[in-house]
Amino acid sequence: MRTVLIVDDHDGFRSWAREVLRREGFRVVGTAEDGRRAIDAVHQLHPDVVLLDVQLPDMSGFDVADEVGDDAIVVLTSSRSAADYGHRVASSSATAFIAKDELTGARLYAEAFGDRG
């Protein structure tokens, strides 16, 4: 079972995502509410995937993704659409982007692992 770390500053989204992803085949190893805690959690928990909100209180999701680097697969998420970020998504260290209202376990799995699952 793939492990996931959920990073978002909204409690409601974190609990909802935890429930959805657990139901749809992921093991949620932890959550974080800001970028610094997220990076620490990646180094401690070694998740397979980090579901990372773009807008965090202390730093942007793009910067967190760059710091995580190859330590985990990063999938960005936001209440905005990918179009609102232009080529910043493509040029970042993140593997993919999923709008929050489109998040499902299957979609995350597909974006993160593709056919490798």
Partner 1 sequence: MNRRRWLLGAMLAVAIAFGLGQEAISVHYRTPESHLLDFLTGLSYLIAGAVCLDRRPGNRIGGLMFFAGVAWFLPPYSILEVAPLTVLAQYANVLPVCLLAHIVLAYPSGHLSTRLERVFVATMYTTMAGLNTASLLVFDPQSWGCAECSAMPAPWPDEQAWGAVRTTSDIVSAVLAFGFVVAVVMRYRRSTVIARRDLLPLWVGSSMVGLLVFLESLTPDAPTGFPYFLFQIRVVLMMVVPLVFLYGLLAQRTARTSMGGLVVELDEVPVGGDLDALLSRALGDPNARLIVADSTEQVDIRAWVADAGLVAAESQTLTVVERDGRELAAIIHERSIEPDLVAGVATASALAIENDYLQRELRNQLEEVRASRARIVAAADEERRRVERDLHDGAQQRLLTLALALRRARMQAADGPEPDPKLELTLIQAGDELKLAIDELRELARGIHPAILTDSGLGTAVVALADRTSIPVDVQSRLDRRPPASVEAAAYFVVSEALANIVKHAEADKASIRLSCPNGVLEVCVIDNGRGGATMADGSGLHGLLDRVAAINGTLDIVSEAGCGTTVRAHLPVTEGDAR
Q: How far is the CB of 73 from partner 1 (least distance, A)?
A: 23
Phi then psi dihedrals of residue 55, to 5 deg: -100, 105
Give the nearer residue to partner 1 in terms of CB position, either 31 or 72: 31
23 binds partner 1 (CB under 8 A): yes
13 binds partner 1 (CB under 8 A): yes
Distances (CA, A) of 3 to 28, 55, 72: 6, 22, 10
Both tokens of 63, joined, read: 């910067």
One character per residue 37-76, x = contact with partner 1 (rule: CB under 8 A): -----------------------x----------------
Sheet containing strand 96-99, strands side by side = 26-32, 2-7, 49-53, 73-78, 96-99
11 binds partner 1 (CB under 8 A): no
Q: How far is the CB of 22 from partner 1 (least distance, A)?
A: 11
DSSP character at residue 45: H
CA angle 81/86/88 to nearest 5° reads 110
Please report, as ranges, the residues that interact with partner 1 according to CB under 8 A: 10, 12-13, 16, 19-20, 23, 60, 79-81, 83-88, 100-101
